[in-house]
Amino acid sequence: MTFETAELGPQLNTPMMAFSLPDHANHCISLEHLMGKAGVLLGFIGDIWHPISVRRILWLQRHLSKFAEHGTPVALVVRDYPHTLDAFHTSSPLPVPFQLLADTDGGVHMHYQMDRHPGLLLIDRDLMLRQKWLMPDDRVWPKIHELLEATANLQTAPALV
């Protein structure tokens, strides 16, 4: 069962806005900086200390290497302050090997239409939205095979001219 919902969130195959947000160390990180060889898997969550957010981060930590194999790094846009992300980063029992970005005012969440639900967006190097997963509160993320299939397809997709 997929949790992709066509009528919610941003529309597939549309350009996504470039942005820059502070990370946990208050360094400004741009969407372009996040891009891997094929694109980026961009997650959107609310409060980083919420139990489901922690579960989502731990899940991504466990599976990160599988996305890296497809040339698709992972980053999370979080509705929190940089100092809150730093506290989480510092206290995490496992290293957080991907960017945690502070969307303090929720502007990126709103522009990407991800302000009402957590989810993942798969964005290619041309900043086109290729896949999305909007998650109910009782699910961590989609099944790993769905995400890996989408990132593998992104890696082999021809570039837009």
Q: What is the pLDDT of residue 158?
A: 53
Q: What is the pLDDT of residues 68-122, one digit of tens each?
A: 888 899 999 999 999 999 999 999 888 899 999 999 999 999 999 998 889 999 9
CATH of the structural domain 32-155, one choice from 1.10.10.10, 3.30.413.10, 3.40.30.10, 3.30.1330.120: 3.40.30.10
Instruction: Tell whether the model's pLDDT for residue 5 goes beyond 60.
Output: no
Query: 108 Cβ partners below 8 Å, 6+ apart?
Result: 19, 21, 77, 101
The domain locations on the chain are 32-155
Say if strands 39-45 and 119-124 run parallel, antiparallel, or are unpaired: antiparallel
> Global pTM?
0.88
Question: Concatenated DSSP letters for 55-100?
Answer: HHHHHHHHHHHHHHHTT--EEEEESS-HHHHHHHHHH-SS---SEE
